[in-house]
Structure 1
Amino acid sequence: MEIDCLPFRKTGYFSKLICDYIEEKETLTSLYGQFPKLENFERQIREKNANFSVSGRKTLVKSLKAQYVDVKTSSLTSENIQSLHAENTFTVTTGHQLNLFTGPLYFLYKIVSTINLAKVLKETYGDYNFVPVYWMAAEDHDFEEINYFNFKGKKIQWNKNASGAVGHLSTEGLDEVFEIFSNTIGGSKNADYLKNLFTEAYLKHKNLTRATRYLANELFKEQGLVIVDGDDHHLKKLLVPYIKKDLFEQVSFTSVSKKISEIQQMDPDYGIQVNPREINYFYLKDGIRERIVERDGKFYINDTQLSFTKEELLEELQTYPERFSPNVVARPLYQEVILPNLCYIGGGGELAYWLQLKASFQAMEVPFPILLLRNSVLIITEKQNEKLDKLNISHEDIFLKLHSLINKKIREVSNIDIDFSPQKKFLEEQFKGMYDLAEQTDKSFLGAVKAQEVKQKKGLDKLEKRLLKAQKRKLEDHVVRLTDIQNQLFPGQSLQERQLNFSELYLEHGEELIPMLLKHLNPLDLNFLVLSIK
């Protein structure tokens, strides 16, 4: 195994905001609390410990035990759940949608990053316990985002009429998806494992939440992973005081809106990931998950006939807190209210919206967690490595956009030098004399000289491009091979981890896949990882 690292900025796949954040740009310090360095966790531990109650721990453990009542898990996971009673136990957390069969490959990277961070923290702060947590986004309602996974370039999709929270969805109909998948992956030992895993998760559990819990538990139970479903009456009860502030005081809307204005002033290229609403909660009941909106002192459930007075809504909240579902702005707060959490591990898009939320946490008097960019990985097989070596493509080269990669390599292998930089420099020197002459005789000719220089430079550019195009045709086989290898490693001109499903790698590596990731992913090394299998 050969390991290489690239700065995230050099990959070209991460936003300016995230690159500036992981490079600790000073102008961003107001957007977060502690930066993700090992020595900063001590302060985070003290802050969280001072702001998390014993009663909250009891409620959390009670809910987790109820959620795990029918789940066969490891002794380590059971010990981790029980340890949350203790005031010296803290969590590190990642979250993800209930994507079919884990969805994109980075589902694994998120959880492995979380598990490995918990291990590193235990090695450094031995007096404390650290529990890796996967938060299931069971209340999301974007079914089209989670109802498929890709396998060897083919989209395997679950077609179903769906509404409300995806975690409530019946798994009925997934037997058809299984048949398609089963007929695609062959009959090897590793293929049989994947078939059995899919069957046990989706064909033997009644809804998507239970199926996803089974799947994540099977993959990571030996590492002590604890899986949390926030769609829970008792856990939501802990959130009630904060829901009130959002419903009736618009605390999140005011604070996040102000922070967005600050971010836009910092740099217009940062962009805004999410915008807050006056009310950042949905109403969740009987297959619906619709926004709560307020008009003229009355509260309506969007696109339904349901409405409440303020008093009625308060009574509903106190009696049925599980019916109040946080949106993307409120969900991070919910997580930090119910977990003794130190750090949230997420992708670039997730961290971009978390960086908008610190003021909201301060207004709600909830500690803001450390934000850590999850590990990102490109895995290169032995055969792919051979192709890269033959084409003399470096790991840095392969991250170039396809046309840039082709242009660079064609210039390198061409038997003629298609680079007109020397000619352009010579042209500039020639025109310098013309500028001097015009300056001494008639300055009105300076514009004409400049126009002529621009015209001739454009002519050289055009000629250079035509010659390069002709050379590409001449070296067509080389272009085809360059295109083929980059399309293998960056399917759809996107990162491998955003397109491939873990099953594709499991077929090749089997039960060694997750141990390989656990061995090589260092969550506090803020670089893009390239794993080359030799």
Structure 2
Amino acid sequence: MHSIPSQLHYSQTGFFSKIILDYIDQKEQLKHFYLHTPDVNGIKEAIAARKKFTGNRKVLVDVLTQQYNVVAASPQVKKNIELLSLPQTFTLCTAHQPNIFTGHLYFIYKILHTIKLAEYLNTHISENNFVPVFYMGSEDADLEELGHIYINGQKYEWETEQTGAVGKMKVDEHLIKLIEQISGQLTIFPFGEELLQLIRSCYINEVSIQDATFKLVNTLFEEYGLIILLPDNASLKRSMLQIFEDDIFNNKPSEIVSKTTDELGKHYKVQAHPREINLFYLIDGIRSRLIEKKNIFHVEDTNLRFTAEEIKAELRDHPERFSPNVILRGLYQETILPNIAFVGGGGELAYWLELKGLFQHYNIPYPVLIVRNSFMLIDKKVKALYEKLHLDTTDLFNTENLLINDLVRKETKNQLYLSLEKQQVSDLYDEIKKTVQQIDITLVQHTEALKTKAINHLNALEKKMLKAEKRKFEAQQRQIKKIKSLLFPSGELQERVENFMPYYARFGKDFIKLLYQNSLTFEQRFCVLNEA
């Protein structure tokens, strides 16, 4: 697959929040909420801070070695796991839940961005080693979000009765049937059968979703040395016992983050609000909030209850049963990994900007925050369509109505504006005002109102003229609607809706290579890839 890339500032797309645009532009009012700039200097600062923090690399390497027993690790992955034992090795991390079949396209983009960043830093800061890590949020219980995909605008949903953490759910007959339903969309392409064989080899009956996702992600990215980490692990969570206790009994994280969100909320929409206790209780079929009522700890929507002593014992004996929410997840990630940068989407970075005070309180190094890469993929047919209409890639992000109006105004031979006439009306009423002023000063205001009314009538007439002219361009309107529906399914960015499989089915591993080649590092630009 050959492509022609072009780049836009994120603000030109109209799809990104004010807080993320201000972060990209390094606006002054936001600088108080993070520590390091998203560039090489920021990375060097993060390395210096990380060197002062004593993490347990041996536990991390042991856990990773054990987790990789489910696959045959590639030489690149083995090497990177071994490198983690060395004090001069640091990780670059991205994170996501185990959506079935990877979920949305941006799942792929954020991983490749992290890989590309590691490669760039290995070249530019050669005295250190940099390893890309995918941190799998397998404890997430939101099946409604994780249990469906879209292929060419069609929704495929996993109908299962299972509950609790999605990563612990098992592949069942419903998911296997879903694969067969999807197959017809893929086998028409050159690499469709190869992809289906891969999906079937990962999603085997009774295999957990986290293991299936682990195998799929490993197969796609093992040649790049990507390490996949499953944080749902007792040995890793043991390092968080002190913080978990502080959260359960003293509600300290809630107190700290609330101060930050109060301040942040003066300028931006707050992404995530802390709870008194920021932990879920995690056991087979259950991932529910811990709530304290009169010194008794309840697991929401269950009959499970613990006294203070019982919850301490449970934490000590079964740390794996305590699952951090969005407020504590970052702390956990940065405690167990020798991490210096986090690559995330707009929503993720918005909540990370709430957490600096929390990291400082617990003396855990705060990473460089990097807005993940975004792509729009445009095939030859769509490219030909929009070029025929004399549109460029920036135009594509305008509203459908604006595109149609602009096209009609460019293509029509008729006059659609009444600017001269409106000016003439304005001048006429100004002359009338001079006349009535000499008779009765109170008539001036009435004359001004008549002028405004007359101009408003002309504005309304302009709109009717445009509407009438648009009817002559119905074919072009249909083409614009088609372009918008293909590139912005359900009015959203393509990457937030569509799955990677149709693209992989067409181009095979070349699709991953193309994205890798066009992945940026610190530029933080939106990339449009036109098929050549």
Name the TM tier (shorter chain). Answer: over 0.9
Question: Which AA in structure 2 matches 1:59?
Answer: V
Q: Per-residue deviation at 1:439?
A: 6.5
Please say if residues 114 and 345 of structure 1, whose CA atoms lie closer than 8 Å, have aligned partners that are also in contact.
yes
Aligned pair partner of 1:52 in 51, 54, 59: 54
Q: 1:133 to 1:428 in 2, by over 3 A?
A: farther
Which residue does the alignment assign to 1:156?
A: 156
- Segments of structure 2 that go 5 or more residues without pairing to the other structure are none
2: CA distance between counterparts of 1:431 and 1:360?
Answer: 65
1: CA distance between counterparts of 2:39 and 2:440?
Answer: 64
Which residue does the alignment assign to 1:70?
A: 70
Q: Per-residue deviation at 1:364?
A: 1.9
- For structure 1, which segment, 423-432 or 139-148, has the greater mean C-alpha deviation from structure 2 after superposition? 423-432
Q: Per-residue deviation at 1:286?
A: 2.4
Please say if residues 256 and 357 of structure 1, whose CA atoms lie closer than 8 Å, have aligned partners that are also in contact.
yes
Normalization by structure 2: what TM-score? 0.96
Aligned pair partner of 2:477 in 475, 479, 496: 479
Which residue does the alignment assign to 1:323?
A: 321
Question: Which AA in structure 1 matches 2:8?
Answer: L
* Deviation sequence 1:104-154 (CA, Å, 0-9, x none): 111110001000000111111101011101111100000011111111121
Q: 1:452 to 1:207 in 2, by over 3 A?
A: same
* Deviation sequence 1:478-507 (CA, Å, 0-9, x none): 111111112111122111111211111122
Question: Which AA in structure 2 matches 1:515?
Answer: K
SS in structure 2 at match of 1:82: helix
Question: Which AA in structure 2 matches 1:7?
Answer: H
Which residue does the alignment assign to 2:219?
A: 218
Q: 1:434 to 1:253 in 2, by over 3 A?
A: farther
Q: Per-residue deviation at 1:187?
A: 4.6
- For structure 1, which segment, 503-512 or 79-88, has the greater mean C-alpha deviation from structure 2 after superposition? 503-512
Q: Per-residue deviation at 1:360?
A: 1.6
1: CA distance between counterparts of 2:120 and 2:383?
Answer: 31
Please say if residues 404 and 477 of structure 2, whose CA atoms lie closer than 8 Å, have aligned partners that are also in contact.
yes
Which residue does the alignment assign to 2:6?
A: 4
Q: Per-residue deviation at 1:433?
A: 4.5
1: CA distance between counterparts of 2:133 and 2:148?
Answer: 24
1: CA distance between counterparts of 2:358 and 2:138?
Answer: 23
1:313 and 2:314 equivalent?
A: no
- For structure 1, which segment, 149-158 or 121-130, has the greater mean C-alpha deviation from structure 2 after superposition? 149-158
Question: Within 5 Å, which residues of 2 pair with 1:407-426?
Answer: 407-426=405-424
- For structure 1, which segment, 240-249 or 196-205, has the greater mean C-alpha deviation from structure 2 after superposition? 196-205
Q: 1:115 to 1:473 in 2, by over 3 A?
A: same
1: CA distance between counterparts of 2:348 and 2:184?
Answer: 35
- For structure 1, which segment, 375-384 or 449-458, has the greater mean C-alpha deviation from structure 2 after superposition? 449-458
Question: Which AA in structure 1 matches 2:301?
Answer: D
2: CA distance between counterparts of 1:440 and 1:117?
Answer: 76
Which residue does the alignment assign to 1:179?
A: 180
Q: 1:82 to 1:436 in 2, by over 3 A?
A: farther
2: CA distance between counterparts of 1:494 and 1:382?
Answer: 21
Which residue does the alignment assign to 2:107?
A: 107
Question: Which AA in structure 1 matches 2:198?
Answer: L
SS in structure 2 at match of 1:475: helix
How many aligned positions are there?
Answer: 529
Question: Which AA in structure 2 matches 1:23?
Answer: D
- For structure 1, which segment, 467-476 or 439-448, has the greater mean C-alpha deviation from structure 2 after superposition? 439-448
Q: Per-residue deviation at 1:442?
A: 4.9
Q: 1:428 to 1:281 in 2, by over 3 A?
A: farther
Please say if residues 48 and 341 of structure 1, whose CA atoms lie closer than 8 Å, have aligned partners that are also in contact.
yes
Q: Per-residue deviation at 1:525?
A: 1.1
Which residue does the alignment assign to 1:121?
A: 121
Which residue does the alignment assign to 1:82?
A: 82
SS in structure 2 at match of 1:68: helix
Q: 1:278 to 1:475 in 2, by over 3 A?
A: same
Which residue does the alignment assign to 2:287?
A: 289
Q: 1:318 to 1:463 in 2, by over 3 A?
A: same
Question: Within 5 Å, which residues of 2 pair with 1:137-148?
Answer: 137-148=137-148
SS in structure 2 at match of 1:139: coil
1: CA distance between counterparts of 2:185 and 2:9?
Answer: 37
Q: Per-residue deviation at 1:70?
A: 2.2
2: CA distance between counterparts of 1:22 and 1:441?
Answer: 61
Please say if residues 143 and 162 of structure 1, whose CA atoms lie closer than 8 Å, have aligned partners that are also in contact.
no
Q: Per-residue deviation at 1:17?
A: 1.1
- For structure 1, which segment, 126-135 or 238-247, has the greater mean C-alpha deviation from structure 2 after superposition? 238-247
2: CA distance between counterparts of 1:439 and 1:15?
Answer: 52
SS in structure 1 at match of 2:85: coil
Question: Which AA in structure 2 matches 1:19?
Answer: L
SS in structure 2 at match of 1:353: helix
1: CA distance between counterparts of 2:489 and 2:38?
Answer: 31
Q: Per-residue deviation at 1:454?
A: 2.8
1: CA distance between counterparts of 2:437 and 2:52?
Answer: 74
Q: 1:198 to 1:446 in 2, by over 3 A?
A: farther
Normalization by structure 1: what TM-score? 0.96
1: CA distance between counterparts of 2:435 and 2:53?
Answer: 76
Which residue does the alignment assign to 1:21?
A: 23
- For structure 1, which segment, 126-135 or 244-253, has the greater mean C-alpha deviation from structure 2 after superposition? 244-253
1: CA distance between counterparts of 2:440 and 2:7?
Answer: 58
Question: Which AA in structure 2 matches 1:3?
Answer: P
Q: Per-residue deviation at 1:429?
A: 4.2
Q: 1:524 to 1:436 in 2, by over 3 A?
A: farther
Aligned pair partner of 1:453 in 451, 458, 472: 451
Q: Per-residue deviation at 1:422?
A: 4.0
Which residue does the alignment assign to 2:203?
A: 202
1:342 and 2:340 equivalent?
A: yes
Q: Per-residue deviation at 1:93?
A: 0.6
Q: Tell me the percent identity.
A: 38
Which residue does the alignment assign to 1:516?
A: 514
- Segments of structure 1 that go 5 or more residues without pairing to the other structure are none
Aligned pair partner of 1:491 in 472, 489, 492: 489
Which residue does the alignment assign to 1:133?
A: 133
Q: Per-residue deviation at 1:432?
A: 4.5
Which residue does the alignment assign to 1:236?
A: 237
Question: Which AA in structure 2 matches 1:352?
Answer: A
